[in-house]
């Protein structure tokens, strides 16, 4: 997977982002610009066409007043005539039309040119249809209007008219507009690309920080480097926070792991050293002395037994960490287990006084695997017995909270000093190492109990006073009726 990604060429997200925004805005601007350009040029074209149509109508109307076939002379005089008679036009209509870029040609019925304001590009049609068409011109298309001219009275054909519009103004505007649009398009693409690039640079800065942190951590996982969380609250700030939490957790695991290895090797060192000492002694001189031999074998057996227990407890501890995954749906009637453990201990330690104070009126079910609850109770009762002094009494209580069930185990023994109360749940922690070792304790019992109970979303607390005794309290959530079915 890693090889695959490194095989591919690295393309920065910033470039991809910039490219994406540039292409996106190019696309949008192109559509908008095309719509504007088409509607604008269309209007311009319609105007030109309207101008030509208007010109044709005016000329036809004016020439129609000549009641005879058109000749050069009568055309001239007809076109300079005043509409209402009297004074002449100051600007003859033909001149006005040529100023409007129209080329006007008038022909007699015999197809002779009788008036021309310029060289026509298309050949006159000389038919009786009034037509306005687009035709091919020298550089571009032109509009050509052709029409027969009829005398106003009698509707007699007196000539032909052809008006051309070379569309020079139209094309000039068209080209200008196209240039402006292309320049604007380039500007938009450039601006949006740059904007995209800088915005992505701004937004992706936290990713750069994550990248740097990963680099530092992958070189040395114990380093304390963390990603600076951005001030604004967004997805990247969330990612940075989650990433830091993940690093914290991973580092906690690493520390725990190395601590565990340290603890285990430390715990195993003593029994191994004892066994080795005995074996050394036997090898050197002791094997010939039956008493020394016997003592050494017995001492070594005690130590191997201790190691066996230690390994078994360590296994229990590592299993206790996974209860949430493996025993999620287990349910147990708490009353039954407490009564059973109480009866067992009463039988095992007849010289102790065990009392059970059961406040529950009916069976209560908790989400916990039966063997695990039993294991926790055994650990606590065992400790109560183990660390009892003169007053050989253990009180067990069973009561109910709002939606919890509470089990108390109280002894009246050595008690635990206040500064050790939090630590006794730590792995391998023993208040009095020598005494605990003598009693066969590895310092793992309470940490197994705590992990098991917390694995089932319960809690375990301790109240103790030195010399007066200790009270361990287990609180477990009661299984809801829905769970119980
Ligand atoms: P151990 O196997 O040594 O008993 P635990 O984890 O069960 O290990 O207990 C840790 C330490 O807490 C013990 O070594 C002991 O010093 C102290 N402790 C536990 N339970 C009691 C108790 N009921 N009274 C006094 N001290 C206790």
- Protein residue with least CA distance to atom 7, ligand 1: 445
Question: Cβ(451)–Cβ(320) under 8 Å?
Answer: yes
Using alpha carbons, list the distances in angstroms from residue 310 to 21, 240, 313, 382. Answer: 64, 41, 5, 16
Tell me, yes or no, whether 220 lies in a domain. Answer: no
Phi and psi angles of residue 161, each rounded to the nearest 5 degrees, phi first = -125, 140
Residue 78 structural domain: 13-177
Q: Write down the pLDDT at residue 98.
A: 64
Number of domains in the chain: 3
* Shared domain check, 257 and 291: yes
Tell me, yes or no, whether 257 lies in a domain. Answer: yes
Claim: this prediction has a pTM higher than 0.85 = no
Q: What CATH number is associated with residue 252?
A: 1.10.287.130
Separation of alpha carbons 448 and 469, rounded Å: 21
Q: Write down the pLDDT at residue 484.
A: 45
Probe target for ligand 1 pocket from 352, 383, 440, 451, with the most ligand atoms within 8 Å of CB: 383
User: Which one of 319, 335, 370 terminates a domain?
Assistant: 319
The pLDDT profile of the chain, 485 residues, written as one tens digit per residue, is: 444 556 788 888 889 999 999 999 999 999 999 999 999 999 999 988 888 888 888 888 888 888 888 888 888 777 765 444 444 444 566 666 666 678 889 999 999 999 888 888 888 888 888 888 888 888 888 999 999 998 887 788 899 999 998 888 889 999 999 999 999 999 999 999 999 999 998 888 888 888 899 999 889 887 888 988 888 888 888 988 999 999 898 888 888 788 888 888 888 888 899 999 999 999 998 888 899 999 999 999 999 998 998 889 888 888 887 777 778 788 999 999 999 999 999 999 999 999 999 999 899 999 999 999 999 999 999 999 999 989 999 999 999 999 999 999 999 998 999 999 989 998 888 888 777 777 777 889 999 999 999 999 999 999 999 989 999 999 999 987 554 44
* Shared domain check, 149 and 41: yes
* Shared domain check, 353 and 429: yes
Query: Strand 141-150 and strand 157-165: pairing?
Result: antiparallel
* Shared domain check, 402 and 332: yes
- Protein residue with least CA distance to atom 19, ligand 1: 383
* Shared domain check, 428 and 347: yes
* Shared domain check, 475 and 348: yes
Q: At 83, is the secondary structure helix, strand, or coil?
A: coil
Distance 424 CA to ligand 1 centre (A): 7
Report which of 384, 301, 271, 396 is spatially closest to residue 343, judged by C-alpha positions.
396
* Shared domain check, 326 and 454: yes
Is residue 442 within 6 Å of ligand 1 at its C-beta? Answer: yes
Tell me, yes or no, whether 358 lies in a domain. Answer: yes
Range list of H helices, 64-167: 72-80, 93-99
Tell me, yes or no, whether 206 lies in a domain. Answer: no
Q: Write down the pLDDT at residue 448.
A: 93
Tell me, yes or no, whether 430 lies in a domain. Answer: yes
Question: Cβ(300)–Cβ(279) under 8 Å?
Answer: yes
Tell me, yes or no, whether 19 lies in a domain. Answer: yes
- Protein residue with least CA distance to atom 4, ligand 1: 441
Is residue 409 within 6 Å of ligand 1 at its C-beta? Answer: no
Q: Write down the pLDDT at residue 184.
A: 94
User: Which one of 177, 193, 223 terminates a domain?
Assistant: 177
């Amino acid at each position: 997977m890693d090889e695959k990604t490194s095989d591919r060429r690295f393309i920065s997200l910033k470039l991809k982002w910039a490219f994406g925004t540039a292409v996106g805005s190019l696309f949008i601007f192109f559509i908008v610009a095309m719509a504007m350009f088409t509607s604008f040029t269309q209007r311009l074209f319609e105007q030109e066409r309207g101008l030509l149509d208007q010109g044709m109508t005016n000329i036809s109307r004016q020439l129609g007043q000549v009641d005879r076939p058109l000749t050069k002379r009568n055309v001239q005089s007809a076109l300079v005539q005043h509409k209402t008679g009297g004074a002449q036009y100051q600007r003859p209509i033909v001149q006005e039309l040529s100023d409007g870029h129209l080329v006007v040609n008038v022909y007699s019925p015999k197809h002779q040119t009788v008036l021309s304001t310029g060289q026509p590009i298309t050949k006159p049609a000389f038919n009786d249809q009034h037509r306005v068409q687009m035709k091919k011109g020298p550089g571009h298309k032109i509009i050509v209007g052709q029409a027969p001219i009829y005398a106003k009275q009698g509707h007699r054909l007196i000539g032909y008219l052809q008006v051309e519009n070379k569309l020079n103004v139209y094309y000039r505007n068209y080209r200008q507009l196209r240039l402006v649009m292309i320049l604007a398009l380039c500007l938009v693409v450039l601006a949006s690309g740059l904007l995209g690039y800088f915005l992505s640079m701004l937004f992706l800065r936290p990713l750069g920080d994550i990248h740097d942190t990963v680099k530092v951590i992958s070189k040395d996982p114990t380093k304390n480097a963390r990603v600076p969380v951005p001030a604004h609250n967004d997805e990247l700030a969330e990612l940075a926070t989650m990433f830091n939490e993940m690093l914290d957790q991973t580092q906690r695991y690493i520390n725990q792991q190395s601590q565990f290895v340290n603890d285990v090797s430390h715990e195993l060192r003593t029994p191994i050293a004892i066994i080795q000492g005995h074996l050394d002694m036997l090898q050197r001189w002791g094997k010939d002395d039956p008493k020394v031999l016997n003592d050494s074998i017995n001492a070594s057996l005690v130590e191997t037994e201790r190691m066996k227990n230690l390994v078994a407890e360590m296994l229990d501890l590592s299993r206790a960490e996974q209860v949430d995954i493996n025993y999620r749906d287990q349910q147990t009637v708490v009353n039954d287990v407490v009564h059973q453990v109480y009866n067992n201990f009463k039988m095992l330690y007849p010289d102790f006084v065990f009392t059970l104070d059961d406040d529950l009126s009916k069976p209560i079910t908790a989400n916990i695997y039966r063997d695990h609850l039993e294991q926790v109770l055994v650990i606590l009762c065992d400790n109560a017995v183990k660390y009892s002094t003169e007053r050989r009494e253990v009180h067990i209580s069973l009561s109910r909270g709002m939606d919890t069930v509470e089990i108390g185990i109280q002894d009246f023994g050595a008690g635990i000093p206040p500064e050790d109360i939090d630590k006794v749940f730590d792995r391998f922690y023993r208040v009095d190492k020598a005494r605990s070792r003598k009693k066969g304790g590895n310092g793992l019992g309470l940490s197994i109990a705590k992990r098991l109970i917390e694995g089932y979303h319960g809690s375990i607390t301790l109240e103790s006073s030195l010399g007066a005794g200790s009270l361990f309290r287990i609180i477990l959530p009661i299984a809801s009726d829905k769970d119980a079915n």
